[in-house]
């Protein structure tokens, strides 16, 4: 392929070079379809001035698609074998762009600072089992990120983008909505990965907007409590959080929320308002 993107044969070769047996617990499913890569880069609307943060570059499939489109790419990879092969892969295929890439070997869930200019966009085929915590951690850590386009398990995509009152709406939907406007941006079949996962995937876009008025930690605590007992009304579900069912009811009423409502019905703004109510004696 003339644009240097990795096809199935190259992915296999690279994996063989490393004697890599993809690790399921690290969500190692590598993209080997150039059209999907181009589609991700296009959907992310990467601009020439963007500093892109990629989590889990793996064998470099998406990295090679991002480099020509962005000013810089910072890639955080937990697997040392992959982190050390990446400069070689990129250097072989796009020597002209190799100096745009910074590789950080580490756990994206634990990074606290990154080298180079602050990233403006997160674009990643995320490791599936940690996709939501990675997304939330990075949005919190890096206010410079003004948008994200991530590839995740289809079910997670649906949850992240769900709005109040729908069955997929839950903790990930509310917490993602704290940071921005989230929308689904298409589906990706399992065939474009090696090894093939047993679920389909979905693209999710997030555009940052100011959070609702209120405290994030306090809001997230009440969100966790509200969805912890999904089948209960909020008065009961929030009893422990508030100190007692009566205290929960008083705070719900103070926030203008019907105590018999369920967590699924509240928007992130409702949760923030509820978290900001004065604690009452149980």
Q: Which of 5, 10, 103, 108 binds ligand SAM (CB under 6 A)?
A: 108
**Can you list the alpha helix ranges (DSSP code H) found in 210-267?**
216-228, 234-237, 239-242, 245-254
Shortest CB 170 distance to ligand SAM, Å: 22
Closest approach of ligand SAM to the CB of residue 83, in Å = 9
How far apart CA 201 and CA 72 sit, in angstroms, is: 26
DSSP-assigned letters across all residues of 120-178: SEEEEE--GGGHHHHHHHHHHH-TT--EEEEEEEHHHHHHHH--TTSTT-SHHHHHHHH
Residue 82 engages ligand SAM in binding (rule: CB under 6 A): yes
Binding to ligand SAM in span 127-146, by CB under 6 A? 127, 130
Residue in 44, 64, 67, 78 binding ligand SAM, rule: CB under 6 A: 78
Q: Which residue is nearest to ligand SAM (CB)?
A: 56
| Beta carbon nearer to ligand SAM, 126 or 275 | 126
State yes or no: 198 annotated in a binding site: no
The residue among 55 and 69 lying less far from ligand SAM, judged by its C-beta, is: 55
Let me know: does 59 contact 82? Beta carbons within 8 Å. yes
The contacts of residue 217 (CB under 8 Å, 6+ apart) are none
Ramachandran assignment for 123, one of left (phi > 0), alpha (psi -120 to 50 degrees), beta (any other): beta
Q: Is 29 annotated as a binding-site member?
A: yes
CA distance 214 to 23: 40
Of 140, 173, 255, 193, which is closest to residue 15 (Cα–Cα)? 193
- Looking at the Cβ atoms of 79 and 270, the one nearer to ligand SAM is 79
| Closest by Cα among 138, 88, 90 to 114 | 138
224: nearest Cα among 271, 184, 257, 276: 271
- The distance of closest approach from Cβ of residue 90 to ligand SAM in the complex, given in angstroms and rounded to an integer, is 13
Nearer to ligand SAM, 4 or 58 (CB): 58
Instruction: Please check if 59 is assigned to a binding site.
Output: no
Q: Of residues 18-77, which lie at the interface with ligand SAM (CB under 6 A)?
A: 26-31, 55-59, 61-62, 76-77
Separation of alpha carbons 261 and 254, rounded Å = 14
Residue closer to ligand SAM by CB (options 31, 275) is 31
Q: How far is the CB of 51 from ligand SAM (least distance, A)?
A: 17
- By CB under 6 A, residue 119 contacts ligand SAM: no
Query: Is position 31 annotated in a ligand binding site?
Result: yes
Of positions 13, 96, 99, 107, contacts ligand SAM by CB under 6 A: 107
Q: Which is nearer to ligand SAM, 58 or 170 (CB)?
A: 58
On whether 113 is known to bind a ligand per the annotation, the reply is no
Name the phi and psi angles at 260, rounded to 5.
Answer: -90, -5
CA-wise closest residue to 113 among 102, 101, 100, 99: 102
CA atoms within 13 A on the CB side of 153: 14
Q: Is 35 annotated as a binding residue?
A: no
Binding residues for S-adenosyl-L-methionine, as ranges, are 29, 31, 56, 77, 107, 125
Using CB under 6 A as the criterion, which residues of the chain lie in contact with ligand SAM when the complex forms?
Answer: 26-31, 55-59, 61-62, 76-79, 82, 107-109, 125, 127, 130
């Amino acid at each position: 392929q003339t644009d240097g993107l990795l096809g199935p044969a190259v992915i296999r070769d690279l994996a063989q070079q490393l004697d890599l047996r993809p690790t399921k617990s690290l969500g190692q499913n590598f993209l080997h379809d150039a059209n999907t890569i181009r589609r991700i880069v296009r959907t992310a609307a990467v601009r020439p001035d963007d500093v892109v943060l990629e989590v889990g570059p793996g064998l470099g499939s998406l990295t090679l698609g991002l480099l020509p489109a962005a000013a810089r790419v910072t890639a955080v990879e937990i697997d040392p074998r992959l982190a050390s092969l990446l400069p070689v892969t990129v250097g072989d295929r796009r020597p002209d762009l190799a100096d745009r890439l910074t590789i950080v070997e580490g756990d994206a869930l634990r990074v606290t600072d990154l080298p180079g200019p602050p990233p403006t966009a997160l674009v990643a085929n995320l490791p599936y089992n940690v996709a939501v915590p990675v997304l939330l951690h990075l949005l919190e850590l890096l206010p410079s990120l003004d948008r994200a386009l991530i590839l995740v398990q289809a079910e997670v995509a649906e949850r992240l983008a769900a709005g109040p009152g729908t069955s997929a709406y839950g903790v990930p939907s509310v917490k993602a909505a704290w940071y921005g406007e989230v929308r689904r941006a298409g589906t990706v079949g399992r065939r474009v990965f090696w090894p093939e996962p047993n679920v389909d995937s979905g693209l999710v876009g997030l555009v940052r907007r100011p959070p609702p008025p209120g405290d994030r930690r306090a809001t997230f605590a009440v969100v966790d409590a509200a969805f912890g007992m999904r089948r209960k009304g909020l008065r009961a579900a929030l009893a422990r959080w508030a100190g007692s069912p009566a205290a929960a009811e008083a705070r719900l009423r103070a926030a203008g929320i019907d105590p018999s409502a369920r967590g699924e019905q509240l928007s992130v703004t409702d949760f923030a308002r509820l978290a900001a109510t004065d604690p009452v004696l149980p």
